[in-house]
Amino acid sequence: MHCISILLLIALTNITNAYTHRTNKTCTVKASGTNSTDDAPAIRAAFVECGHDGKVVFAPTTYHINSILNISGLSNVDIDIQGKLLWSTNIPYWLNHSLPVGYQNQSTAFILSGNRVRLNGHGLGTLDGNGDAWYEWIRQQPNTSNYPGRPHQITFAGLTDSLVKGVRFIRSQMWTMSIIHSRDTVFEDIFVNNTGNRVSSSNTDGADTIYSTNLLFRNWTVHNGDDSISFKANSTNMTLRDSHFYNGLGIAIGSIGQYKGAFETVENIYVENVEFSNTLHAFYVKTWTDDQNGYPPNGGGGGRGYAEGMRLRNLTATGLRGAAFSISQCTRFSGAPGVGNCTNSQFQVRDVEIEGLRGTTKSARVASLQCSAVAPCMDVAIEGVDLKFANGTAAGSYLCGNVGEKRGWECTGKVCEGGSATGEC
């Protein structure tokens, strides 16, 4: 294992054993028992009373969340979720009242922040976004990507020295979990299923990190229709281990470079022992061009910076739908203004190493790397690949443009240059 990741894993694992017996007050939230009564006020009151050196318990019942939750400033608190938190389907309310996340003009239904927070669902505690209503509604809108006000299920904002464990996230309204301005925290034994019961879900990322450092993701299972997990702007020292992703797009870096003139980075991403089933990619990077077209969340461009130090080991795939490894520096979302030059991004991708990628694929493309001519991709290593079609034939296509310092592979053809939000033309 990479030495940085060993130190990070040891440090973050210690969090799971720290501060476990220092609470002195317990508040059990009383559920109303009816969806016509909002349980959010009772939840807010419990955290006011027991959010410092205390414990907040959600009983094994259903809590109806009909209004926003902003639970901030917690300190040394245990949150024990034994039941279900179920969000209402009052779409006009959420569109008009969801809380700003602080990036890409995104918003959320629930903010949770603090220091030494231990949230445990014991494998049963559930946050249910009632997403079927959202998935059906968004299909009727002209903008089906990042609709203003459509909320993330939960945002961990300024979460430090904390643990989120054993929680189930079901049918999130949009992104499941955004993590911003957070550090030194473990997210483990997490289950996400954003599969729609009636229509397919869209833009239901498993998790997105922003302006955060020293986070460990361990033993995740994600069923969704978008990024399995995405490391966005200023995500550093991230470790992802022992996880299984189904049907989405795979592990993403970005999108990034969306804010004109802003300098953003992604550094030291370590991934090991991850399985992909019917995902589009295993790993992909997406940056905006140097041309600004519109504004976030669906427009933008002109950002600068770099993504470097990305190490991926022991990846297993079953039925990949696209290139196992993809880079697109021409991000374009549905409904966005037209993109310009697909090779003029000032954001550089460099120092990437994929070692050990095996399994089955439906695509001939092992790699599809569409990099910037202004800041070419550098030092890209792909080694230990054993990807085959169902008939046993090896996949052997490596398409590239503007890639320097290749290790373990050679280009077999020219890559497509064109707008994309999912890593390939």
Q: 287: which 2 tokens?
A: 């940056």
Distance, in Å, from the CA atom of 303 to the CA atom of 288, rounded to the nearest integer, reads 7
Q: 223: which 2 tokens?
A: 């069923």
Distance, in Å, from the CA atom of 425 to the CA atom of 419, rounded to the nearest integer, reads 6
Reduced to 3 states (helix: H, G, I; strand: E, B; else coil), residue 31 is coil
Contact 349, 264 (CB under 8 A): no
The residue assigned the tokens 């992802």 is 240
- Cite the active site residues: 226
The residue assigned the tokens 């945002």 is 155
Closest C-alpha to 26, from 5, 2, 57: 57
Backbone torsions φ then ψ of 161, nearest 5 degrees: 45, 50
Residue 97: other Cβ atoms inside 10 A: 14
- In the DSSP assignment, the letter for residue 416 is P
H/E stretch holding 50: helix 40-50
Closest C-alpha to 111, from 63, 160, 42, 159: 159
Distance, in Å, from the CA atom of 352 to the CA atom of 378, rounded to the nearest integer, reads 8
